[in-house]
Structure 1
Amino acid sequence: MDIRVPENSLIQLCGAPGCGKSTFAHRYFLPTQVVSSDHCRQMVCDDVHNMRVNKETFSLVRHIVRLRLSLGRLTVVDATSLRRVYRSEMQALAREYGFHTVLILLDMPLSRCLEQNRNRDRQVDPIVIEKYHQQLQTTKERIKGEGFDQVVLVTEEDLPDVTVYLEVNTTDRKG
């Protein structure tokens, strides 16, 4: 599966915890291009598990994204991105700076998310993963009406064959 995105893109990764968003981000993008909510949470309070600092965490995420876009830099947001309000905030920032908006939905089976969760350092409660996995199904049904320039659905079957290409000097931005 080839994913082609203009270099002036704000890419949001979207998926349940444990689906492989961070692995995907680090496989296809430079570490400096990725703005991770987990990393920002850790920067804010020294504890990646502390969900009580979400307001501060996402304030930092938005700040870093704004800075990168203001400098014309490709930016990848590594967060669940399952709440429409959050996706809309990122879209508004992208539009403010004339960036192409891309949403990559990582649609992995619940069993894979739960298994990968068991094998990582920062584990999420399986009930939370189930809830977010269900939210992803709803998001998939509604995403077409949200105005993204590009929506890419990556399934477990697609994952081994994904290649991401950055298109240089693209002038086909919509909106």
Structure 2
Amino acid sequence: MLPLTLPGGTLITLVGAPGSGKSTFAAHYPGPWRVCLDTYRQLATNDESNQTATPVAAQIQDLLVDARLARGLTTLIDSTNVYAHTRAGLLARARYWQRPAVAVLFDVPLDTTLAQNRARARVVPPDVVRDLHHLLPAPEQLKSEGFETVYRISDVALPTIG
């Protein structure tokens, strides 16, 4: 059973700081649903943390999001998405393809996020995690931007895997 029950063709946008659990959450969904900038940065440079590849990674993401939404396929955006302009671009794509858009807000306390980040294979500098965590929008802001539904990760029950 999946953590969220959504209509087919939904654009699911994860919003959270590095280390907040977005990729762990995304792993509960089918692989083809997941669109991840880290993957495309790695394909472009052999290094998923190479931020110089973000522009090309974003172009790849946009192409895949459009291809999937045009076909009515559920699409999950596994990136920080803490910047309003990034979310606005994703929402514009969902509107263009007339697909529902939901956000999953990773409202994980900063201390927990920093601890989880330290335990990752690829550790993001703590100051970057703090900066991005401080940019987290409130659920009301996400609703006002145009997300039809906003889930807070603190309210979502994850399925048992095994």
Give the alignment's TM-score, normalised by structure 2: 0.90
Contact residue 3 and residue 152 of structure 1 kept, 8 A: no
Note the C-alpha offset of 1:120: 1.1
Corresponding pairs, count: 156
**Would you say the 8 A contact 2:103–2:142 is kept in 1?**
no
Q: Distance in 2 between matches of 1:154 and 1:134?
A: 17
Q: Using the TM superposition, give the Cα deviation of residue 162 of structure 1 relative to its aligned residue in structure 2, in angstroms.
A: 3.4
CA contact (8 A) 1:15 1:133 kept: yes
- Residue 69 of structure 2 is matched in structure 1 by 69
Map 1:2-21 → 2, pairs under 5 A: 3-21=4-22
Q: Counterpart of 2:158?
A: 162
Unaligned runs of 5+ in 1: 164-175
1:26 maps to what in 2?
Answer: 27
Partner residue in 2 for 1:171: none
Distance in 2 separating the partners of 1:3 and 1:50: 32
Query: How many angstroms does 1:146 deviate by?
Result: 0.5
1:132 aligns with 2:142: no
Q: Tell me which residue corresponds to 2:52.
A: 52
Structure 1 Cα separation of the partners of residues 44 and 95 of structure 2: 27
Separation in 1 of the partners of 2:36 and 2:87? Answer: 14
Q: Distance in 1 between matches of 2:144 and 2:69?
A: 24
Q: How does 1:27-42 map to 2 (within 5 A)?
A: 27=28, 29-42=29-42
Q: Take 2:105 and 2:69, find their aligned partners in 1: how far apart are those partners?
A: 22
Higher relative contact order (CA 8 A, sep 6+): 1
CA contact (8 A) 1:21 1:78 kept: yes
2:83 match: 83
What's the CA shift for 1:76? Answer: 0.3
In structure 2, what is the equivalent of residue 168 of structure 1? none
Letter matched to residue 146 of structure 1: E
User: How far apart, CA to CA, are the structure 2 residues paired with 1:66 and 1:102?
Assistant: 16
For the residues of structure 2 that align with 1:4 and 1:83, how far apart are their CA atoms?
26
What is the root-mean-square deviation in Å for CA atoms of aligned residues? 1.4
Structure having the larger proportion of residues in strand: 1
Equivalent position amino acid for 2:142 in 1: I
Change (3 A) 1:71 1:144: closer
Structure 2 residues not aligned, in runs of 5+:
none
**Equivalent residue, structure 1, for 2:103:** 103
